[in-house]
Amino acid sequence: MKDFKNYSLKDHNTFGIDAKCSRYLEFEDDFEAMEVVEILRKSKKPYIIIGGGSNLLLTHDFDGIVVRSGIKGYEFEEDYFGCMRMTCGSGETWDDMVALSLNKGYYGMENLSLIPGDVGASAVQNIGAYGVEAKDLILCVWMIEIANGKRHIWGNEDFEYGYRQSRLKTDWKNRFLITRVTYALSKTFKPHLDYGNIRSELERKGIKEPTAQQLRDTIIEIRQAKLPDPKVMGNAGSFFMNPIVTKSRYEKLAVAYPNMPHYKVDSRHVKIPAGWMIEQCGWKGKSLGRAGVHDKQALVLVNHGGATGAEIVALCQQIQFDVKAKFGIEIHPEVNII
């Protein structure tokens, strides 16, 4: 088990913020996870649980314990109905598991290609992209309850998944250590192409009926064209969640903004891209001090070098104010701000 004192988290957040914690613990198997549980139960210091740091904004040093899973490994098992179950260690890199599933001939994850972070975070955040969410794939989550050391394997329905939400972000926050996640995959490839510009990019390549690998490659290309490499420019990907409004609210806005992009959620609700609204407010490519808005995707806030977490929060708040003033809609961070 990794156990460090006065530890820098700079390499554990993709914004590249050099904040420190009092103690850093990383467990690599179930036995070590139980050791961590005992430490957390006996310690009087606060603690937080992180993943790969791709959805994290640190605003100050943390006088407490930071915990991360380093559990690796995976296994496949076919059930009686021909569904393939893939169980992955919570410390595995998410995109590595997407690539692995395709290489094995099992499908469902391809639209979630190149999303940064660890497997454990997929169950917490309900990560999603291009019309697919983790909740569509998660079968169950393996966890240890910190308060009493009990082991649980809970099913998808227990987490009350919503858009970038789960009970692990609300009333169950920091109550469990996730050790593994099991996903339900298919041996039959059924592409999801009608979201964003997937279909148009495939057509540009002359591909009408893509293979799973071609779909994955195309989504990777789209993401790389829009999102900066955090190793070059600090960022956490999409900073804001896309707001969901009532259909009647959207229709009123569409009168003033007839070209407003939107996606139907259900018969009564519509999702409006936050990035489009931010761009309409003139923020795309603009900066506030050392923090800025990416010039290719307005949904992404970036660290131009040396920005503090507080500077990025200030930019976030100014963007929220401008969007509310122009559209009457509140947008909220997807990123966890600590």
Catalytic residues, which ones? 164, 238, 334
Provide the angle, in degrees to the nearest 10, between the axes of the packed helices 94-104 and 212-226.
Answer: 160
3-state secondary structure of 196: coil
Tell me if residue 298 falls in helix, strand or coil. coil
Strands (DSSP E) contained in the chain are: 2-8, 20-27, 47-50, 56-57, 62-69, 74-78, 84-89, 128-129, 132-133, 138-145, 151-155, 176-185, 234-238, 244-246, 263-264, 269-271, 287-288, 291-293, 300-303, 336-337
Q: Is the dihedral of CA 170, 55, 223, 137 positive or negative?
A: negative
Measured between alpha carbons, how far is 140 from 158 in angstroms, rounded to an integer?
Answer: 9
CA–CA distance, 43 with 332 (Å, rounded to integer) = 33
